[in-house]
Amino acid sequence: MTDTWIRAAASSDLEPDAVIGVQVGGQDLALYRHEGTVYATHNVCTHAYALLSDGYFEDGEIECPIHAARFSIKTGRALCAPASIAVKTYAVQEKDGDILVKLA
């Protein structure tokens, strides 16, 4: 874990209203662009193993591709069953054409 900003992707890698999966510091993260702002969560569903970046992203919520649990990309909160545990979120900033995250 680190408290420094780490480059996760180029800003141009993330289209509006899109989600992508990236590996940063050995961790799987999902990056989302929603209403002009970038958000980051851990990419693995808290219910079982699935990559959230393979799911359906709409209106600030990501739906798991396996059992359809939904999570808020802003808070990580699990919004419906079968997931009940929040997914971890990370601080994000865009700077000089890059998306930077803090893993701590």
Q: Which is nearer to ligand FES, 22 or 69 (CB)?
A: 69
Cis peptide bond N-terminal to 16, omega within 30: no
Q: How far is the CB of 98 from ligand FES (least distance, A)?
A: 30
- What are the backbone angles phi and psi of residue 96, rounded to the nearest 5°? 50, 40
What DSSP string runs through 57-91?
EETTEEE-TTT--EEETTT--B-STT--SPPPEEE
Interface residues toward ligand FES, by CB under 6 A: 45, 47-48, 50, 64, 66-67, 69, 82-83
Q: Which is nearer to ligand FES, 83 or 92 (CB)?
A: 83
Q: How far is the CB of 57 from ligand FES (least distance, A)?
A: 14
Q: Which is nearer to ligand FES, 39 or 71 (CB)?
A: 71
Q: How far is the CB of 43 from ligand FES (least distance, A)?
A: 11
Name which of 70, 92, 73 is nearest 82 in CA terms: 70
* 3-class secondary-structure state, position 12: helix
Q: How far is the CB of 47 from ligand FES (least distance, A)?
A: 3
Q: How many Å apart are CA 35 and CA 57, to the nearest integer?
A: 13
Q: Which is nearer to ligand FES, 6 or 66 (CB)?
A: 66
